[in-house]
Amino acid sequence: MSRPVDLSMSSVKNHSPLNPGGSGGFTPVFEASPAASPAGSRRPSFSQPVARRPSESASASRRPSMNQYYSSSQQISQPQQALSRRSSMASGPRPIRRGEYSGPATPSVLSRAGSPTLPLGNEFTQAPRSYFEGAAGYTPLGGVRELRNGQFIGSLDCGTTSTRFIIFDKRAKIVAEHQTEFEQILPHAGWHEHDPEALVEAMNECIIRAVEKLEWMGWSRNSLKGIGITNQRETTVCWSRSTGKPLANAIVWDDARTVGVVREMEKKLDEIGIRIESAEEDARTADTAVTEEAVLGTGGEDAAFGNKGEVVDQAAGVTGSIGKAMEGLGIGGGKDEKEPVVKGTKYRKGKEGLVDVTGIPMSTYFSAIKLRWMIDHQKAVRTAHETDDLMFGTVDTWLVYNLTGGKQGGLHIMDVTNASRTLLISLKTLQWHHPLLEFFGLRASILPKIVSSSEHYGNIHESTNLPIAGVPIAGIIGDQQAALVGNKCLRKGEAKCTYGTGAFVLFNTGEEIVRSNYGLISTVAFQPGPDAKPVYALEGSIAVAGSAIKWLRDQMDLIEDSSEMDILAGSVHDTGGVYFVTAFSGLLAPYWDREASGTIIGITAYTTSAHIARATLESVCFQTRAVLDVIEKESESKLSTLKVDGGVTNSDLAMQLQANLGGFNVARPSMRESTALGSALLAASALGLFGWDLSKPETLSEVNTAGVHTFEPELAEKSRLKRVKGWNRAVSRASKWHEEDSDDEDEEEYEKSMGFERINN
Convert the pLDDT of each residue in 560-613 to its tens digit: 988 899 999 999 999 999 999 999 888 888 888 878 889 999 999 999 999 999
- Listed as ranges, residues in the chain with pLDDT below 70 are 1-145, 277-344, 740-761
pLDDT at 241: 96
How many Å apart are CA 408 and CA 99, to the nearest integer? Answer: 58
Q: Are 155 and 676 in contact (CB under 8 A)?
A: yes
- Cβ-Cβ contacts under 8 Å for 282 (sequence gap 6 or more): 298, 299, 300, 303
514: number of Cβ within 10 Å: 16
Q: Evaluate whether 298 touches 285 at the Cβ level (below 8 Å).
A: yes
Burial (Cβ within 10 Å: 0-12, 13-18, ≥19) of residue 448? buried
> Kindly report the CA angle at 209 between 205 and 212, in degrees rounded to 5?
145
What's the pLDDT score for residue 700?
86
Q: C-alpha dihedral over 321, 323, 326, 327, to 10 degrees?
A: -110
- Residue 508 makes CB contacts below 8 A (sequence gap 6+) with 484, 489, 490, 491, 492, 493, 494, 495, 525, 535, 537
SS3 218: coil
Look at residue 109 in the predicted model and tell me its pLDDT.
59
Give the pLDDT score at 657. 95
Bridge partners of 537?
508, 523
Specify the amino acid at residue 503: A
With contact defined as beta carbons under 8 Å apart, do 167 and 214 qualify? yes
Q: What is the pLDDT of residues 449-489, one digit of tens each?
A: 999 999 999 999 999 999 999 999 999 999 999 999 999 99
How many CA within 13 A on the CB side of residue 19? 21
Backbone φ and ψ for 437, nearest 5 degrees, come out as -65, -40
d(CA 157, CA 414): 16
pLDDT for 137 = 41
CA distance 758 to 761: 10
What pLDDT, on a 0 to 100 scale, did the predictor assign at position 590?
A: 86
User: Could you give the maximum distance between any two Cα atoms of the chain, in Å?
Assistant: 86
Q: What's the chain's Rg over C-alpha atoms?
A: 27
What is the DSSP secondary-structure string of 41-94?
A: --PPPTTS-EEEPPPHHHHHHHPPPGGGGS-GGG-----SS---TTSTTTT-SP
Q: Coil, helix or strand for 712?
A: coil
pTM of the model: 0.73
pLDDT value of residue 529 = 92
